[in-house]
Amino acid sequence: MASSKPVGSNLTVVRKFGSDPGSLKEETYVPDNFRKGAPLVVVLHGCMQTAEGYDHGSGWSALADQYGFALLLPQQRPSNNALRSFNWFKWGDSHRDGGEPLSIRQMIKQVVEEHGVDPDRIFITGLSSGGAMTSVMLATYPDVFAGGAIIAGLPYRSANTLMQALFRMKGYGGPSDSKLEALVRDASENVKNWPTISVWHGSLDQTVDSSNADAIVRQWQGIHDVEGPPTRTETVDGYPRKVWCDASGREVIEEYNITGMGHGTPLETEGAEGVGASGEYMLEVGISSTRHIAHFWGLSAVEQTV
């Protein structure tokens, strides 16, 4: 493997990780306190963002330092998409073993092998187009991920063309609930354990309509056999959280509706628990999606177990 850390950067660029059919860039962050057998979090930036910029805003590397897990941050190239969006709706970039999904899978394999990551504790999250690509990765490689968090994203295969993608982003049309579930089930084979799903969306999102959050939940309800109303609804840091639990009582789907928030990642940057930095599409709203997602995945216990 050839790698380098640009001056002033928190992240390391990995130059060789596989055939890279999606022509993406790999960046990683492995904290000094990382120990073999710790988890990995894959973080996907949004439109017009970079891996470094999204990490700075979301605060994932700060949590990696605190809890000792590794980060993988794939980055889109302008040559693939002028807006640096992941191509989640394109046929060649929305299926297993091809395009951008395979590039990300190859990156994961490289990090797991080089650093000794626990293969049963790999997670993925993303914002906007990165959230939509998170949906793609969870559907096409459910055997790889223990959980995923989709922020201001869209359901898997809800669009197949750019025009459809623009309509779905505005909340128009889309596959039926039964079709959405079937799309996930047909995306891979021989799935033993499905990843848990965390969904975050601003109620006033004018870029990706919040109806997409509900559609993501419905897409995965049948997969986890938790159809119907949530097991419970509660308030967390002033915002509603819905939770669906399976027959064993395990939380398998959660949905946060960040009332009054527009398009972006919800942050709490102040105080003892503050993390990240506010900016464009990185929104200070008094709740840290990064911390809550990490807690949902059990990463806050890593410090005591590695």
Question: pLDDT tens digits, residue range 222-231?
Answer: 999 999 999 9
Catalytic residue among 103, 128, 129, 158: 128
* Residues 244-271 pLDDT 10s: 999 999 999 999 999 999 999 999 999 9
Structure tokens at 298: 């059990």
Classify residue 268 by its DSSP letter. -
Contact criterion met (CB below 8 Å) for 238 and 286:
yes
The rounded Cα 275 to chain-centroid distance in angstroms is 18
Secondary element (H or E) of residue 74 = strand 70-75
Q: Which of 179, 86, 104 is nearest to 140 (CA)?
A: 104
Does the structure show a pLDDT above 50 at 305? no
What are the distances in angstroms from CA 109 to CA 35, 42, 43, 239?
17, 12, 15, 37
Superfamily of domain 3-305: Alpha/Beta hydrolase fold, catalytic domain (3.40.50.1820)
Q: Rounded CA gap, 208 and 210, in Å?
A: 6
Query: How does residue 157 score in pLDDT terms, banded at 50, 70 and 90?
Result: very high
Domain boundaries, the chain: 3-305
pLDDT at 300: 87
Active site residue 128: yes
**Residue 279 backbone phi and psi in degrees, to 5:** 175, -160
Q: Please provide the size of the chain in residues.
A: 306
Q: Which of the four pLDDT bands, split at 50, 70 and 90, describes residue 302?
A: low
pLDDT at residue 5 tops 90: no
**pLDDT attached to residue 10:** 87
